[in-house]
Structure 1
Amino acid sequence: MESLHLTRCSINTATLGHREPLDVTIDRIARAGFGGLAPWRHEVESADVSKIARQIRAHELKVSGYCRSTYFPASTREQRLANIQSNVRALNDAAELGAECFVMVVGGLPEASRDLSAARLQIQDGIGALLEAARRLGVRLAIEPLHPMYASERSVVNTIEQANAIARELDPHNDGFLGVAVDVYHCWWDPALETGVASLGDDKRIFAYHVSDWLVPTTDMLLDRGMMGDGVIDLQGFRRAIEKAGYAGMVEVEIFSRDNWWKLPPDQILQTCAARLRTVC
């Protein structure tokens, strides 16, 4: 399999630990030779969005994704509507940044709830309500299924099949604005992975592809992701499946590593990402 060229690779800014202002991070990523980045809302919203967008364009970087949505489920109708409006505001920033997609981590159970079905229905309704704004602004929505360990708090959408079923239900004519972000960390375990990826490819709904690795043991369910090649995920096999399904977009590194990588100098992290993307992904 052909080695990845860095111009096809993106760095999710969380990989560097959010230790520096976004403008500094953008310059670092460009200097290291990567073709894109995926910023987070708290970084963009605390800066001048237009200035950040100009800086990204000046470096000729792509924005592989904009992270991430406000969770959709809530205990009251008023809060659910407020969550949708929060996401509409983020979509406007995603449009200004030229993001290839708005990544939706959709949310878990509302407070004091045990009703998974109701939470999933709220999510579907929320995405449906957001879709009109996405079309108007020209920003694609990418549902990101999360590992089942996050179902209580972060996402009750946990498989590629689930995410694609929501996309098919809400966008049966597939006008190109609703798809899926496939993250190896969340999906590698799925026994239906290959068929799920193939179905996404048939529907042309793979909007993003994120890489990292699953460490053994994993010491923190959120903040102990591995650098590619340090864990047990068959990254090259995963990439073959994604590319066989027709995906030719950015390969985005997204690593949360509080006790390991985030303690290292940002340029060292970027150098390691570049080496691993070329050799093990």
Structure 2
Amino acid sequence: MTVPARFSFNQATAKYWPIPDLVAGCVAAGVPAVGLWREETAAHGLDKTAALVRDAGLAVTSLCRGGFFNTPDWYDENRRAIDEAATLGAPVLVLVSGGLPEGSRDVDAARAHVGEAIGALVPYARDAGVRLAIEPLHPMFCSDRCVVSSLGQALDLAAPYPSETVGVVVDTYHIWWDDQVWAQIDRAGREDRIASFQVADWATPLPEGVLLGRALPGDGCVELRRFRQAVEAAGYQGPIEVEVFNAEVWARPGQEILESTLAGYLAHVD
């Protein structure tokens, strides 16, 4: 199986595959890049993980996640996340904004705070050489995980800041439903804001616990190839990460997950 040069295997897709095995499996399969998560890299050791992927010749396409600006320690925690991204050689730190502050119903104020918080982090991220990428999540996550629910909202929040330091994530799972998404992808390209493109399908019916409703490419209802074509038409030529949260997928051996991910990618994305 020929692996496309832009393909990146996000660590979350094989959540229980130990990092050394994931790295070895990707190298053996010819996968050029991985997306990493903070919790797993911390458990294995940040410096140890950085050395492992570097010595294996793998690129790190993103680190997930910063954000959660509704928590009291958001500033220090995001500075740590930026430092970790720089150590891993990840050019992009994915930001999940967080939901409503405890006791609040004011979604407009919460969203405005996200923009202000990102602005406070811009100088630190710029100096570290890390691009902050605002990820909109499906509206069902607005109250507890992410008050940024559309690509248009993410672009509005990014607009006051330099595009080389603040961009957006185009994640098919979260924005496929939006009738404005194609115009907003075009806008993102014109504004040079596409920092990351992540691919996952939408499982139908959703399993219990919608957070785990992502499916491997081709196992859901999203026009994945249309999204790939749209971001390319908007000028994006960067990595394409497959990032899936699904308990049934996670229960399979890591190498099998990687093979199925690649097969789905070639059939439905590439």
TM-score by length of 2: 0.95
**Which one of 58, 61, 70 corresponds to residue 58 of structure 2?**
61
Deviates more, 1:188-197 or 1:115-124: 115-124
Determine the C-alpha separation between the residues in 1 that align with 2:203 and 2:50.
Answer: 35
| Secondary structure, counterpart of 2:202 in structure 1 | coil
Instruction: Identify the structure with the greater strand proportion.
Output: 2
SS in 2 for 1:108: coil
Gaps of 5+ in 2: none
Runs of 4+ in 1 over 3 A off after TM superposition: none
The Cα offsets for residues 77-108 of structure 1, whole Å up to 9 and x where unpaired, read as: xx1xx211011011111001110200000101
Number of residue pairs matched? 268
Instruction: Please report how far the alpha carbon of residue 247 of structure 1 lies from its aligned counterpart in structure 2 after TM superposition.
Output: 0.7
- Per-residue deviation at 1:111? 1.3
- The corresponding residue for 2:120 is 129
One-letter code of the match for 2:26?
I
Is residue 2:263 matched to residue 1:272?
A: no
* Deviation of the 1:29 alpha carbon: 2.1
Match in the other structure for 2:29: 32
The alpha carbon displacement at 1:52 in A equals 1.4
Give the partner amino acid of 2:108. S
Superposition TM-score, scaled by structure 1 size: 0.92
Contact 1:229 1:276 in 2 (8 A): yes
Q: Tell me if the contact between 2:17 and 2:254 (Cα under 8 Å) persists in the aligned partners.
A: no
Aligned pairs for 1:196-235 within 5 A? 196-219=184-207, 220-235=209-224
**What is the 5 A alignment of 1:7-46?**
7-17=5-15, 19-46=16-43
Task: Say if 2:3 and 2:262, in contact at 8 Å, map to a contact too.
Answer: no
Contact (CA 8 Å) 2:163, 2:193: kept in 1 or not? no
Contact 2:130 2:165 (C-alpha < 8 Å) held by counterparts: yes
CA contact under 8 A between 2:3 and 2:30: conserved in structure 1? Answer: no
98-107 vs 211-220, which moves further:
211-220
Task: Choose the corresponding residue for 2:230, options 238, 241, 246.
Answer: 241
Distance in 2 between residues matched to 1:238 and 1:15, nearest whole Å: 20
Q: Which residue of 1 aligns with 2:239?
A: 250
User: 5+ residue gaps in structure 1?
Assistant: none
Match of 1:93 in 2: 84
